[in-house]
Structure 1
Amino acid sequence: MIRSVLTGTGSALPKRCVSNAELSETVDTSDEWIRERTGITQRYIAGEGETTGTLATDAARAAMADAGIAIDDIDLLVLATATPDNTFPATATQVQAALGGRGFPAFDVAAVCSGFLYALGTADSMIRSGMATRALVIGSETFSRILDWDDRGTCVLFGDGAGAFVIEARDMGGLPDPDAAGIIATRLHAEGEHSELLYVDGGPSSTGEVGKLRMMGREVFRHAVTNLSAVLTEVLGDAGFEAGDIDWVVPHQANSRILDATARKLGLPMERMVVTVDRHANTSAASVPLAYDVARRDGRIKPGDLVMLEAMGGGFTWGASLLRA
């Protein structure tokens, strides 16, 4: 019985930090309006020379350093992003090259804000099947490049950043111990019928242009709370745990209201939710690994803790993964 164990984490942010006050100088909004509705106080915006690929590379380097390994020890790279550097090649291959790797599979996964959960589930499955032994799993985004800066309902919500995990195969020797480190259970879902509620109005095959993000905020909120609470319950059932057993929930950092509502629906105190949306805003596929890295490095997440990761994004796609740190 093989289990994928998390051995290193890392993250990266652009150099430029943009406060609500600075944003209100160019957008018809205010610090009070943004804080009240989202909990966001600032976000990081990619500048010249900073791309999804460069942020992913920096996060990957930090994760490998944390794990005490080099790129030659990696045999799989999965990158979750909705904002690739190019239509093709996959940004993952560019990150591979920047890290000095070669030969092993490297590919992108596109599931928007749920992308990291999809990428982690994919890498975990490949490790369990024996196709890989040690993987870099990255979420990286430059959502600032697809925002309509005249739409205050969306442009205030997002930021740029990257987060990365190193996971590796560990032989459990038989039936896995529920107290042993590693990824315990994952569930992934999608419902394409709701795609018009959160989407980008362009693409190579449809308009020939990148397009801008469009969102029906109230409808997304309603689906997010329902879907996330349901998938968390599914994963707990698969793993044989209850909500009260969870030490930490590392959620997709969409906005503080969704986090509050999800915690209430599960009967969990907000003190068990890792919250970074206030300083990073919504970084889409980067938000879960970025938040995890912050909480692990500041001492909140400790070895042996039971941690639930969850996210929902455009598509709709959503998922959750339970792991022992």
Structure 2
Amino acid sequence: MSFLSDNEAYEAWLRTQCAVDEAGLVRKHEKMDSHPFPFLRATFFRWARRIETVCPDLKDAPRVLSVGDTHLENFGTWRDAEGRWVWGFNDFDEAAVIPWPYDLVRLAASARLMPGRTLGGKEAASVIIDGYRRGLTDPRPTLLDEQETWMRRFVACSDTDRRKFWDEIAALPDASPPPLALAGLRRSVPAGAVIERFARRTKGAGGLGRPRYVAVALWRGGHVVREAKTIVPSSWEWLHGATPENHFLDAATGRFRSPDPFLTVQDGYIFRRIAADSRKVELSNLTSPVLTADLLRAMAFDLGSIHAATDGAAAAILPGLTARAPDWLQTASRAAARAVEFDYVRWRAR
């Protein structure tokens, strides 16, 4: 199928899964117009449809619980139950059981497509394999207060960032969430908090079109914010005929992660705390390129730690990882990036 046909089919399917936010879908299309990198972020459904054809030699690899929508901007920070500052993958909307190489290929392809890329394809592939191997063999969360203090400069929240966050919250349009979202948002705020308003939020790329709501509440002298985002099955499962199963929390709270205690899934919504210092960091929006080999290695390490949570994954993956040709990821990510660019050109010409 052409990309345009796949996009129409996906949006038609999405409308059977939730009450689509049509304005959010328009915003998604605008992002898809802007550059191949946001186009990649917004079109995991197309990746799920084509990647086994683009990289057919990888499809028989062992399957593990995977992120699915793996890319350079699917990372952020949160506070765990001990108040520790944690960094890692923070969007598992497309989590599914997938052949393990495809998460690596998508991460490497996103590094190729990132505006102002600072790493060559060969170096990026080598760094990803190194970090992934480390994550498989010694899986753990990435803790910014302890082992990974060097990462703080990439995710530090400045006074400007804090003002921007609260200005964004203040500018959100008032809304009346559906009953299940409303009830969940009320449950999610601290006891004794007074909810001042509910609003609609438009955010992200691939998730645009799925309604998001926030509750802004006053609690003990300051404001707290909670978000409810509609959850739908992974498009990987839709396209591969699997019985729809929600793997979001399985991946987000795996045994080698230190999860966000405010993150829950209930009644068709993902509920989470949002705050200025618990945020997704979008590298492409920064004023200068900051993707370094160390940061990319840390991303791959976190990916390896997520895959390692599947029973027997490390033992099943490591021999194949060692046996593959040295340039396998470089070759696969080049092919995948070219396929994305091909679709992007057709999308722009529609």
**Which structure carries more strand by proportion?**
1
TM-score (norm 1): 0.23
Higher relative contact order (Cα pairs below 8 Å, separated by 6+ residues): 2
